[in-house]
């Protein structure tokens, strides 16, 4: 259903783009604006991973300097049938994470030190499974196409501002058409873009829960991240707000409502959906398992005291040595 909804929203975005071109009437200007926007977004598509990782000062880690974090991603990628992505760590106290890359073969996942410090092993697994779900669903490609069309619509709006008043053009609505192209169309494009982003988050939540094996791990992580994100300002995200839609929880201050202008669904709604999914999974009998099959991805209910607890900040497995020095930055 989410895929159908996304396809419908993309079709609406395409129709909106063609409508703006019709309102302006200048087919030559429409094609020039589209080509410029497409070129800009094509460049971003091939280089978005490097650009975003650099914006947030992400440092690549491996099995030597962040063994447990790296191991979680490796195990989850294997469970999802994905190639091993590049793994990055961001020195930031706000717990958050994102995925980037144009396809599964060129993907990267990144988590902040705040996420690894404050979440349990299970919760980190839920978050990284969500990010791998974005990779598997090729959401980067979907959002790139959306960004291309939205950028083209905005550029057409600017074109209308400078050339829409020319009486020699074929604008069927005159000055009203120019106003629609300048104001209404870019706003509508932004709303459709936000709606697509939110739809993909719900899909990634569900697929991520399937990958890690327990929806409640991700639900618990979302609750912790959302509460902590309200208290910690992510300066890198504030300087680069265009990347906000990539994070599992909106890293910017001020946006906490599930409305048409949100890049993310309301966290409580996401948690409720995951809890409902957990109920469905409990209602389905599990196959018999050998005792040696029990591991970090076991979905059987355990007592809270038997679950892995959050790692201390000096834990070297998160990329820090015994004295608390941060491995990648030391």
Does 264 show up as a binding residue in the annotation?
no
What pLDDT, in 10s, does the model give residues 203-261?
Answer: 999 999 999 999 999 999 999 999 998 889 888 888 877 677 789 998 887 544 444 45
pLDDT of residue 323: 42
Q: For residue 100, what are its two tokens?
A: 């980037």
Decide if pLDDT at 1 tops 60.
no
Q: Which long-range contacts (CB under 8 A, 24 or more apart) does 46-50 make?
A: 46/102, 48/100, 48/101, 48/102, 48/140, 48/144, 49/100, 49/101, 49/102, 49/106, 49/107, 49/108
Is 122 noted as a catalytic residue in this protein?
A: no
CA distances from 41 to 46, 53, 146, 191, 323 (A): 9, 17, 10, 19, 44
Does 245 show up as a binding residue in the annotation?
no
Does 294 show up as a binding residue in the annotation?
no
Please give the torsion angle defined by the CA atoms of residues 113, 118, 120 and 121, in that order, rounded to the nearest 10 degrees: 10
Which region among 131-140, 146-155, 166-175 has the lowest average model confidence (pLDDT)? 166-175
Q: For residue 270, what are its two tokens?
A: 């996401």
DSSP type of residue 169: S
Q: Which of 196, 205, 200 is nearest to 225 (CA)?
A: 205
> Of 60, 131, 255, 302, which one is the catalytic site residue?
131
> Strand, helix or coil at 187?
helix
Segment 70-94 mean pLDDT: 96
Q: What are phi and psi of 315, to 5 degrees?
A: -70, 120
Q: For residue 273, what are its two tokens?
A: 């959906």
Segment 21-28 mean pLDDT: 63
- pTM value > 0.85: no
């Amino acid at each position: 259903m989410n895929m159908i909804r996304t396809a419908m929203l993309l079709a609406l975005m395409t129709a909106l783009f063609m409508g703006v071109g019709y309102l302006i009437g200048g087919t030559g200007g429409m094609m020039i604006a589209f080509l410029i926007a497409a070129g800009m977004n094509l460049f971003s598509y091939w280089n978005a991973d490097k650009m975003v990782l650099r914006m947030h000062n992400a440092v690549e880690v491996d099995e030597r300097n962040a063994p447990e974090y790296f191991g979680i991603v490796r195990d989850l990628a294997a469970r999802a049938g994905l190639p091993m992505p590049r793994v990055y760590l961001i020195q930031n106290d706000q717990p958050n994470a994102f995925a980037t890359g144009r396809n599964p073969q060129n993907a990267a996942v990144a988590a902040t030190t705040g996420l690894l410090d404050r979440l349990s092993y299970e919760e980190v697994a839920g978050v990284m499974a969500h990010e791998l779900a974005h990779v598997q669903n090729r959401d980067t490609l979907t959002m790139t196409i959306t960004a291309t069309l939205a950028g083209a619509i905005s550029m057409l709006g600017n074109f209308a501002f400078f050339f829409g008043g020319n009486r020699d053009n074929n604008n069927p609505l005159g000055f009203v058409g120019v106003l629609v192209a300048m104001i209404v169309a870019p706003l509508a494009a932004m709303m459709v873009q936000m709606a697509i982003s939110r739809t993909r988050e719900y899909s990634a939540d569900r697929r991520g829960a399937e990958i890690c094996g327990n929806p409640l791990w991700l639900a618990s992580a979302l609750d912790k991240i959302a509460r902590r994100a309200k208290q910690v300002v992510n300066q890198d995200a504030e300087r680069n707000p265009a990347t906000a839609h990539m994070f599992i929880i909106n890293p910017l201050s001020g946006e906490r409502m599930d409305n048409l202008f949100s890049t993310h669904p309301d966290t409580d709604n996401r948690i409720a959906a995951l809890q409902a999914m957990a109920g469905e999974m409990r209602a389905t009998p599990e196959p018999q398992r050998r005792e040696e099959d029990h591991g970090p991805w076991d979905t059987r209910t355990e007592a809270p005291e038997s679950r892995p607890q959050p790692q201390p900040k000096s834990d070297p497995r998160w990329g820090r040595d015994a004295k608390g020095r941060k491995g990648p930055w030391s």
